[in-house]
Amino acid sequence: MRIAIDGPAGAGKSTVAKILAKKLGFTYLDTGAMYRAVTVLFLENNLSLADENGIKRLLENADIKIIPGDEGQKILLNERDVTDLIRTPQVSELVAKVSALPEVREYLTELQRKIIAKGNVVADGRDIGTVVMPEAEVKIFLTASAEERARRRHRELLARGYEVSYEEVFREVLKRDELDTTREISPLRKAEDAILVDTTGLKIEEVVAKLLEIIGRKQDVL
Ligand code: CDP
Ligand code: CDP
């Protein structure tokens, strides 16, 4: 069974996808982490978004591995652990621009499909139900009000020691939503056959229960 979870930043995708994968014994694939890892490479190499040859070279030499573990997955970039580095505000600020590049999307979509082909999976991102695995048995479009999503992100950043204001986070979340929904290739949108789940005001456990119910219903008819 393939489960696709798409939606905007702070909707709760990675939190609930991780829990679902654990409960179901499926592989969890965090595609956003892959776009973030490529963004780390852009920052470290000071690569311009317009440098087509440079981007080609960068991707040819990139080795991104996702290592599942009890404490969540680890992201290895050319054998270096970048699990924490991919979550810095600098990466969050640039990632939507890097993700709009056709070369980057082509490269990562192929990598994602290889992982998905191995078996049962819960994958989260922006284009999973529409592009990466349009044939997924279960498609969820997770969302919440922009204010709540920014509040969640803000709380998370403060807990990790970043001194950012709520307003800054709110602006960043809106900006990223705008870039993700308006880009030309694989924009963020709900697949026609995806089930919309609004998580505004819902606790993580409540969202998980809702999704398990949707998955259970689907399993019954398969
Ligand atoms: O967790 P958060 O919502 O902040 O984002 P993420 O899932 O880590 O993804 C970071 C960014 O990567 C998104 O804002 C998109 O620009 C891009 N992305 C994408 O274009 N396609 C995907 N399948 C996943 C992420
Ligand atoms: O992956 P995505 O950007 O969609 O969101 P996330 O990283 O899973 O969740 C963002 C933050 O919101 C995390 O700190 C979650 O613990 C929190 N969260 C929440 O408070 N209530 C929910 N229903 C879902 C997530």
Question: What residues are in contact with ligand 2 under a 6 Å CB criterion?
Answer: 7, 9-15, 152-153, 156, 199, 202-204, 207
Give dist(CA 76, CA 81) in Å, integer: 5
Q: Does domain 2-208 sit in CATH 3.40.50.300? A: yes
The residues spanned by each domain of the chain are 2-208
> Exposed, middle or buried: residue 43 (CB in 10 Å: 0-12, 13-18, 19+)?
middle
**Nearest alpha-carbon partner for 139 in 212, 90, 191, 205:** 191
- pLDDT bin (cut points 50, 70, 90) of residue 222 is confident
Q: How far is the CA of 45 from the centre of ligand 2 (A)?
A: 30
Q: ipTM of this predicted complex?
A: 0.98
Reading the block at residue 40, the tokens are 């780390």
Reading the block at residue 63, the tokens are 């080795």
Say if CB 149 and CB 11 are below 8 A apart: yes
Taking only the tens place, the pLDDT of each residue in 170-183 is 999 999 999 999 99
Buried b (16+ CB within 10 A) or exposed e, 120-150: ebbbbbbbbbbbbbeebebbbbbbbebebbb
Q: How far is the CA of 49 from the centre of ligand 1 (A)?
A: 17
Taking only the tens place, the pLDDT of each residue in 9-37 is 999 999 999 999 999 999 999 999 999 99
